[in-house]
Chains A and B, each alone.
Chain A
Amino acid sequence: MIAGAYPLIRYFSKTSISIGSLWLLLALLLGACKPQQSASPFGNQATQAIENKGSDTLVNLALAWAEVFMESHPEVCISVTGGGTGTGIAAMINGTVSIANASREMKEEEIAAARANGITPVEFVVARDAIAVVVNPSNPVQELTLKQISDIYTGKITNWRELGGQDRPIVLLSRESNSGTYVYFLENVIRMGKKDNNLLFSPDTLLMPSSEGISTEVRQNPNAIGYDGLGYVTQDQKLVAVARSPEGPYVLPSIQTVNDGSYPISRPLYMYTAGEPTGHVRIFLDWVLTRGQMLVPRLGFVPLAQAPAEPKS
């Protein structure tokens, strides 16, 4: 039942450019909660609601977790919404959600804002994500170094010829600037992890409002280069092997290469709670970190390699 539900849910969250689809998503979830409530032998008074909001990268995974968890725990009703990492963390700080999904670590000022509100955020690493660099399948370029990707996205390299490809202009595709993926890519690829570096995306970069926008353009346009979470890369885009230095090795992103650390562009995904989780939130997070990891590879993310790490504050 779950496997059948994925493509539908996935479709809705991918086209999250339309706010309407978010409502649809919400409606689907609420609809999914209700029959279970009434079917529960405990009646309605035993139902526990867990609000879960945040990163669009994590939303499909969080949905899958919520659905499977609710099957075995009918007394819990989990509602998952996207909106982006910043939105989720802000909601957690305001106390409107119990769990915030984040595709980056909380910023200093966000932690300060939480403290000012009397909340100590607790961090859980729940999965890993690799950022894949993709090109059109007809593009002969197979591999790039981090430095080359940085030069492409800052506008220093503007033609595929300079990278051993055809004589075509390079069209840069990126997610919108409010996406956690955008910030991660900028800091770790364009600035190559250097704090004192203040390179920016070239002004010619096309900012696409959704993953769907990126995949459509990459599929259609032989000039395009894009990046997105590995979970969002479809069959009709070509993955580029990435190397930390020109000597190589050039590595394609996969569950194995992310977990052994050889693929250079990968990141942890987080869930944050306001203070040490208790009750059903605790049970849910423990489940996510253990049995829930089973679901992670099915959605194109990378499960945690070892036993779940202890929460750190």
Chain B
Amino acid sequence: MDKGVIVTNRGGISGRRWTEVPIEATIRVLGFSTIGFVLLIFLFLLREGLPIFYEVPTGNLFGTRWYPTFELFGTLPLLLGSILVTVTAILIALPLGVATAVFVRELAPDWVREILKPMIEVLAGIPSVVLGFFGMHFVAPLIRNIFGAPTGLTVFTGALILAYMALPTIISVAEDALDTVPKSYRDAGLAMGATQWQTIWKVVVPAARSGILMAVMLGMGRAIGETMAVMMVTGNAARLPLTFDSLFRPARTMTATIAAEMGEVAQGSTHYHALFGIGIILFVLTFLINLTAASAIFRKQRRGGLR
């Protein structure tokens, strides 16, 4: 395709070609450099993090005790902590997000939509430290008093804050997905004698479900990578969240561990490699989530934007 452009230029005004070539080249370099940066970051992660996998026996590395000061690098509590917080956050954010998207897209009068859409974007702009402070001083005591947990700094508190942070992403993407459903589907639903609610719930939302799945995946990617707010409200206790009450007990996530410990670790030490090792695990997890989201888009495109 590029060649074709150059060929046509060759037949046209010769000056245009000379100005366009460097611009085109620059744009191409910029485009490819994104991939290049991702690759470089991944290589850097591997170089700094891979040594941990042979420096520390696997039993220790996937053990249950994380005491880096004492050569115990069990990443299992951190991995499960991250997963539990993220999944809980998505379970909270998904119904709220989809319901909001349906309301904004399908039900709200125009003037309400005009107010809601920018408000949702403002929601995305709140810095996570601010949400962390809010969680620490306001949500945590509430959780302790309402649920009778020993402390308010729990998985659930973290999940609530994360759900709040993932909401704008989920709402915007889900709303776009609903937007791609053709008007004829709605008209057909209503013409068949379905109520507005039945049309939305049985026709429009299912038609947009791959887009909604993508919204969930993107929200999840946002949630699992979030650091500051989580570090402030989940208590950071590296315990295994296996019991039923784990939701209302503290947990330590991978991101919080890296953030809290990277500042004072000696470069090149086992602990340093361990933190990068966690970085690799996190990178792979986020990559898988994004891949799932991307394949959802791909499926959507193949099916002409529907189902």
Contact = CB atoms under 8 A, between A and B. Distances in A.
A223 B150 contact: yes
Interface stretch (A25-33, A62-70, A200-208): A200-208
Given A86-B264, A178-B265, A206-B237, 11 more contacts: A18-B129, A83-B263, A83-B264, A84-B263, A85-B264, A86-B265, A178-B261, A178-B263, A203-B65, A204-B250, A224-B151
Nearest to A169: B150
A171 B150 contact: yes
B231 A209 contact: yes
Given A177-B68, A203-B237, A209-B236, A87 B151 contact: no
Contacts of B144: 220-221
A268 interface: no
A209 B232 contact: yes
B266 interface: yes
Contacts of B137: 216, 220
A246 to B, nearest CB: 27
A255 interface: no
Given A86-B266, A178-B263, A224-B151, A206 B250 contact: yes
Interface string A126-165: 0000000000000000000000000000000000000000
Interface string A194-235: 000010110111111100010011001101100000000000
A209 B262 CA distance: 12
B234 to A, nearest CB: 9
B264 A178 contact: yes
A285 interface: no
Interface in A258-306: none
Contacts of A177: 67-69, 261
Nearest to A86: B264
Contacts of B152: 220-221
A200 B252 CA distance: 17
24 contacts: A18-B228, A86-B264, A168-B150, A170-B150, A171-B151, A176-B236, A176-B260, A178-B263, A200-B67, A201-B67, A203-B65, A203-B237, A204-B249, A205-B237, A206-B235, A206-B237, A207-B238, A209-B231, A209-B236, A213-B136, A217-B153, A220-B141, A220-B152, A223-B151
A17 interface: yes
Interface centre among B65, B235, B250 (most CB of A within 10 A): B235
A183 interface: yes
Contacts, number: 88
Nearest to B240: A203
Pick the most buried of A17, A182, A207: most chain B CB atoms within 10 A of its CB.
Answer: A207
Nearest to B235: A206
B239 A203 contact: yes
A182 B136 CA distance: 22
Q: How large is the interface on B (under 10, 10 to 19, 20 to 34, 35 or more residues)?
A: 35 or more
A207 B264 contact: no
A90 interface: yes
Contacts of A209: 231-232, 236, 259-260
B180 to A, nearest CB: 40
B90 interface: no
Interface of B: 65, 67-70, 77, 129, 136-137, 140-141, 144, 150-153, 228, 231-232, 235-240, 249-250, 252, 259-261, 263-266
Interface of A: 17-18, 83-87, 90, 168-171, 176-178, 182-183, 198, 200-201, 203-209, 213, 216-217, 220-221, 223-224
A109 to B, nearest CB: 9
Closest A-B pairs by Cβ, 3 of them: A178-B264, A206-B235, A84-B264
A213 B65 CA distance: 23
Contacts of A205: 237
A83 B144 CA distance: 32
A177 B263 CA distance: 11
Nearest to B250: A206
Contact of A206 (B67, B153, B259): B153
Nearest to A16: B263
Contacts of A170: 150
A96 to B, nearest CB: 13
A86 B228 CA distance: 22
B237 A204 contact: yes
Contacts of A169: 150
A221 B151 contact: yes
A216 B136 contact: yes
